[in-house]
Amino acid sequence: MNTLLARPTGVGDAGVDGQAIYVYAVVRRSADTPPALPASTVAIGYRDLLAVTRRVPLAQFSTAALPEYLHDPAWVQALALEHQTTLARLAHDYATLPCAFCTVYHHAERVQHMLAAQYDALDAALRRVAGATEWGVKLFYDQHALAKWLADDAEFFAPQRAAIARASSGAAYLLQKRLAQSADQRAAAFGTEYALTCHAELAAMARAATSSPPMPRSDHPAEIILHAAYLVDDQRHAQFMNTLASLQAASASRGVQIALAGPWPPYSFATLDTKDPV
């Protein structure tokens, strides 16, 4: 859930000197000497809040022009990279509320009005994310590898393995096939349960956590069984990473891979939905 401080739909033709205001994020003004803002950006302030912006051409960002540019992969890729790079720089120095991609206002006064109108909500959101960083985690599993681990090592199938060990060779062969089939059937449910367990352990190390719905099954051997984000206190970063490393070590033999992404600005935890048009 990206922060929505305005609708990313472009603006009309009422910009100043053929330009509009692109807003990257809202940050809190530092009481001390503030870190420098990223090059080419301009701060628009209200009380202790700053909207970090830059001027952009209406020829590209007007309501009429923007949809066409959004169908240009090279243009979108370049802008998205610049947008993300700016947010990463801001998040390194400030508590940051990211704006949605292509959040554009007619002029600076409209941005300042947004800050004033939403001051309480922005202030509360900045307090929620201050001193913390977002990390993303995905769990992938190979059903065949997980089924093999279940059949060979899981406590759940210990009675079946014991029966195989006692059986004659012919009976053992049939029991082994039955065990493999049962383990394969159990693997999908076990993968979901294991993902929930991992999510709970990581969430316990975080200030806040969120996860997306389970991904649809596919023919790809590695399926995503968890797509989650965690807002981790900077002071608990080491604990979170140690928990993640322990889960990764335990998961490898089970056909489960855990991938980490980040650090990110708090895209998933600083959600504001404005109803007012830009």
* Tens digits of residue pLDDT in 85-109: 999 999 988 889 999 899 999 889 9
How many CB atoms neighbour CB 252 within 10 A?
13
Amino acid (1-letter code) at residue 12:
G
Rounded distance between C-alpha atoms, residue 256 and residue 43, angstroms: 45
Rg (CA), the chain: 25
CB 240 within 8 A of CB 66: no
Position 53 scores a pLDDT of 94
pLDDT of amino acid 214: 61
Name residue 27's beta-bridge partners.
50, 96
Strands 208-211 and 222-233: antiparallel
Name residues whose C-beta falls within 8 Å of residue 240's C-beta, 6 or more positions apart in sequence: 135, 202, 205, 206, 230, 232
Position 159 scores a pLDDT of: 75
Asked: is 134-144+186-264 a CATH 3.90.1150.170 domain? The reply is no
Q: pTM above 0.85?
A: no
Residue range(s) of every CATH 3.30.70.2690 domain in the chain:
134-144+186-264
Can you list the residues of the chain whose pLDDT is less than 50?
Answer: 1-15, 273-278
CA–CA separation, 231 vs 209, rounded Å? 6
